[in-house]
Amino acid sequence: MSFEYDDQNIFAKILRGEIPNQTVFESEHALAFNDINPAAPVHVLVIPKGPYVSMDHFCQQAKADEIEGFMRAVGEVCKIVDVEGGFRVISNAREDAVQEVPHLHFHVIGGRPLGPILTKV
Ligand code: 5GP
């Protein structure tokens, strides 16, 4: 499939500094900040700085240094926040997964027991 990036999405505005955020970690290729509506005591969003809509877009088209930088940012976030008891990484893509913001992001969620990942149908 083809991917079209809308540079007016909220996370693009955060990257441009047009909307404030609570930064947890920043590097050349990634920014991590607290979710505005946290689902758990730890709820950090990790985003690549490049214009990627979703995980499949990123994994198909990002350069190796962008991929490494993004994944390393997740590792750095896990050192900064308290997820010693465990955590979950979620990335929603498109309608079926109810992706609200069309800029790739990982939710790093933890700080309490999280329960099963999905309700079985
Ligand atoms: P999605 O449903 O796209 O996977 O998740 C989008 C996430 O972005 C939600 O958890 C929502 O709370 C968060 N979010 C939406 N707008 C903002 C914002 O302006 N600032 C921050 N920090 N988080 C936001």
pLDDT surpassing 80 at residue 51 = yes
Average pLDDT of the segment spanning 10-29: 98
Q: Quick one: which atom of ligand 1 is closest to the CA of 98?
A: 2
SS3 2: coil
What is the pLDDT confidence band of residue 121, given thresholds at 50, 70 and 90?
A: confident
Q: Per-residue confidence at 118, pLDDT binned at 50, 70, 90?
A: confident
Task: Count other Cβ atoms within 10 Å, centred on residue 33.
Answer: 20
Strands, E assignment, the chain: 23-26, 30-34, 42-48, 87-90, 106-110
Contacts of 45 (CB under 8 A, 6+ apart): 11, 32, 33, 34, 35, 105, 106, 107, 108
18 lines ligand 1 (CB under 6 A): no
Question: Does the pLDDT at position 120 exceed 80?
Answer: no
- Does the beta carbon of 99 lie inside 6 Å of ligand 1? yes
Q: What percentage of the chain exceeds 90 in pLDDT?
A: 94
11 in Cβ contact with 105 (< 8 Å): yes
Whole-angstrom distance, CA of residue 107 vs CA of residue 114? 13
Tell whether ligand 1 has an atom less than 6 A from the beta carbon of residue 54.
Answer: no
pLDDT, residue 77, reads 98
Residue 75: per-residue pLDDT: 98
Phi, psi of 5 (to 5 degrees): -95, 125
Place of tokens 């999280």: 114
Q: In what order do the strands lie in the sheet with 23-26?
A: 23-26, 30-34, 42-48, 106-110, 87-90
Which helix (H) or strand (E) element contains residue 77?
helix 64-80
pLDDT at 119 over 90: no
Note the pTM of the prediction, 2 decimals: 0.97
Q: Which residues are catalytic?
A: 105
